[in-house]
Chain A
């Protein structure tokens, strides 16, 4: 069996990729995708821990299911907001969405 450490490393790497994407990307849709990558990393983590702990309650797997559904709902709301902004400004570049400061 594969050591769980490898899976955790993969998950940590994916999470970092997501964090980098959120911070470095300037296109709102790509930021949304980066957030999805972060959530996927969490799912991998949960499932790996579930296997490692041999959890009879399957908490990790159940939680992963919840995260998948909530992520879908979240991305729905996020895209709706992005589209709303696009209609008014014809841009989804986050740098240009800055009317308010401080």
Chain B
């Protein structure tokens, strides 16, 4: 029984070269580091950083290979994917730096920490490149499963377990909705490729299948809104942020937002672009309640990690404005926003780690009283990053918001932008409160020597430097984002 050989379609290893490097590194660290030699965490960290560097180089080289699809249209290779992959790699690297101190202080398992972090990074990178809903699902689960475990990393602590538990339950619940959406979309359009969906939507649907596509799209949006923590799918966010170790939280906040918005942008701008008038109103409603709810509830928080969790919910709302704009400026603005936000949030959580003490204590607002006297560098770094989160010029966060809002104005969404500006004003209040506490208040308790290592300081410094440089000179990253956004508009 001989048959013709099957043609294995379009293998282009450049498209997944960064991911391949990451998986090899992660497996190496897990198998060798945990199994055979009890390696010093410093060696493991060097290995992780080297792998991330290798992946970054591979991603940059892949950018030079032109754009297109690989593996029969399941994986995209373009500037959009390259830009977001580099952002994810960078925030993972900063998180590795902060995590090294954490591993030392808490005597946490270094190979698992680094290995899971790298596998999560791989999944997020794949999200940025996924051009098929199957690939999206695989990538989504790859990074989610790793993050569920990382959220439970302080496994003796009740709040860490509880955060992980809630994250897992709501996460897999949302995944199931996402999958049902994929199944319905497949039934309606006959394919799971985003390009194929776009073609079949523009050719017009067969009568009777519209309902499948529309309900499929709605369920897809539920799943993705959960990942980016948009209200009303945000319930897990504060608990997970509070429960997870601070360096993990930073990475989670940056990475899952980048990955979620990557798929949201690619799916809505290419696959479902035909239905723009249908998904826009849904997203407008989501964006409105997300921004307002996040900003208002953050004011009531006394725990800094929870406060940043609600702040990250609010930022999801602002990012959604870029998606809603549905023009090229919205896309490039959202990309720039994701880039700057990732650095800021990873850097902020490095500071939160450094201010805290063993067992993730001292994360209440009151613990930041008089920080300037104890840890002046950390106080300055956090202040600058909070100012950037608030979107005050001249910081990276200001340019990001400006781009996104201008894109929405171009698209005629003026009321939405007004609401966004108002909730930004509310948000300024709680960012400023922390800064006032750090610089203007006297500390109430006795001085003690901080027990933080050097690498979390380095992580904070990277975040600070990026915010400052992008604030004064955002042009290079903006240009990169504009170029990256071109591929989805052909």
Report if A and B associate in a common complex: yes
- Is B184's CB within 8 Å of the partner chain A? yes
- Is B269's CB within 8 Å of the partner chain A? no
List residues of chain B with CB within 8 A of the CB of A67: 137, 179
Question: Given the interface contacts A45-B187, A55-B190, A77-B145, does A85 sit within 8 Å of B176 by beta carbon?
Answer: no
- The contact string, 1 if C-beta is below 8 Å from chain A, for chain B 229-250, is 0000000001100110000000
List residues of chain B with CB within 8 A of the CB of A22: 169, 173
Question: Which B161-189 residues have a C-beta within 8 angstroms of A?
Answer: 161-166, 168-169, 172-173, 175-176, 179-180, 182-184, 186-187
Instruction: Please state if A77 and B168 are interface contacts (CB–CB under 8 Å).
Output: yes
Alpha-carbon distance A94/B243, docked complex (angstroms) = 17
Question: Given the interface contacts A81-B165, A99-B162, does A39 sit within 8 Å of B179 by beta carbon?
Answer: yes
With most chain A CB atoms within 10 A of its CB, the pick from B137, B159, B184 is: B184
Closest to A55 in B: B190
- Is A89's CB within 8 Å of the partner chain B? yes
- Is B205's CB within 8 Å of the partner chain A? no
A59 contact from B134, B172, B184, B300, Cβ within 8 A? B134
Q: Which of B92-100, B147-155, B344-352, B419-427 lies at the binding interface?
A: B147-155
A53 contact from B176, B179, B190, B238, Cβ within 8 A? B190
- Is B191's CB within 8 Å of the partner chain A? yes
List residues of chain A with CB within 8 A of the CB of B179: 39, 42, 67
List residues of chain A with CB within 8 A of the CB of B149: 77, 80
List residues of chain A with CB within 8 A of the CB of B138: 66, 70
Instruction: Please state if B239 and A74 are interface contacts (CB–CB under 8 Å).
Output: no
- The contact string, 1 if C-beta is below 8 Å from chain B, for chain A 23-49, is 000001001000100110110011011
List residues of chain A with CB within 8 A of the CB of B164: 81, 84
- Is B141's CB within 8 Å of the partner chain A? yes
Interface of A is mostly: helix
Instruction: Please state if B134 and A63 are interface contacts (CB–CB under 8 Å).
Output: yes
- Is B297's CB within 8 Å of the partner chain A? yes
Instruction: Please state if A81 and B148 are interface contacts (CB–CB under 8 Å).
Output: yes
List residues of chain B with CB within 8 A of the CB of A35: 169, 172-173, 176
Question: Which A56-102 residues have a C-beta within 8 angstroms of B?
Answer: 57, 59-60, 62-63, 66-67, 70, 73-74, 77-78, 80-82, 84-85, 88-89, 94, 97-100, 102
List residues of chain B with CB within 8 A of the CB of A18: 176
Alpha-carbon distance A45/B187, docked complex (angstroms) = 8
List residues of chain B with CB within 8 A of the CB of A66: 134, 137-138
B172 contact from A15, A45, A49, A78, Cβ within 8 A? A78
- Is A10's CB within 8 Å of the partner chain B? no
- Is A52's CB within 8 Å of the partner chain B? yes
Alpha-carbon distance A94/B239, docked complex (angstroms) = 14
- Is B158's CB within 8 Å of the partner chain A? yes
Instruction: Please state if A100 and B161 are interface contacts (CB–CB under 8 Å).
Output: no
Alpha-carbon distance A88/B165, docked complex (angstroms) = 13
**Closest Cβ of chain A: how far from B172's Cβ, in Å?**
5
Closest to B179 in A: A42
Alpha-carbon distance A80/B137, docked complex (angstroms) = 22
List residues of chain A with CB within 8 A of the CB of B175: 74
- Is B192's CB within 8 Å of the partner chain A? yes
- The contact string, 1 if C-beta is below 8 Å from chain A, for chain B 315-355, is 00000000000000000000000000000000000000000
List residues of chain B with CB within 8 A of the CB of A77: 145, 148-149, 168
Instruction: Please state if B180 and A42 are interface contacts (CB–CB under 8 Å).
Output: yes
Closest to A23 in B: B173
Alpha-carbon distance A62/B187, docked complex (angstroms) = 14
**Closest Cβ of chain B: how far from A37's Cβ, in Å?**
9
Question: Given the interface contacts A38-B180, A88-B158, does A70 sit within 8 Å of B141 by beta carbon?
Answer: yes
Instruction: Please state if A98 and B180 are interface contacts (CB–CB under 8 Å).
Output: no
Closest to B146 in A: A77
With most chain B CB atoms within 10 A of its CB, the pick from A18, A48, A102 is: A102
A-B CB contact pairs (8 Å), 13 listed: A11-B183, A35-B169, A45-B180, A45-B187, A63-B182, A73-B145, A74-B175, A78-B172, A81-B161, A84-B152, A89-B158, A100-B162, A102-B300
Q: A11-B183, A15-B176, A53-B190 are in contact. List 14 more A-B contacts (CB 8 A).
A: A15-B180, A38-B173, A39-B179, A42-B183, A45-B187, A52-B187, A60-B186, A63-B186, A66-B138, A67-B179, A81-B161, A81-B165, A84-B152, A99-B158
State the 7 A-B residue pairs at the shortest beta-carbon distance, nearest first: A49-B187, A38-B176, A45-B183, A42-B179, A70-B141, A100-B239, A46-B183
Chain A residues packing against B (C-beta within 8 Å): 8, 11, 15, 18, 22, 28, 31, 35, 38-39, 41-42, 45-46, 48-49, 52-53, 55, 57, 59-60, 62-63, 66-67, 70, 73-74, 77-78, 80-82, 84-85, 88-89, 94, 97-100, 102
Chain B residues packing against A (C-beta within 8 Å): 134, 137-138, 141, 145, 148-149, 152, 155-156, 158-159, 161-166, 168-169, 172-173, 175-176, 179-180, 182-184, 186-187, 190-192, 238-239, 242-243, 297, 300
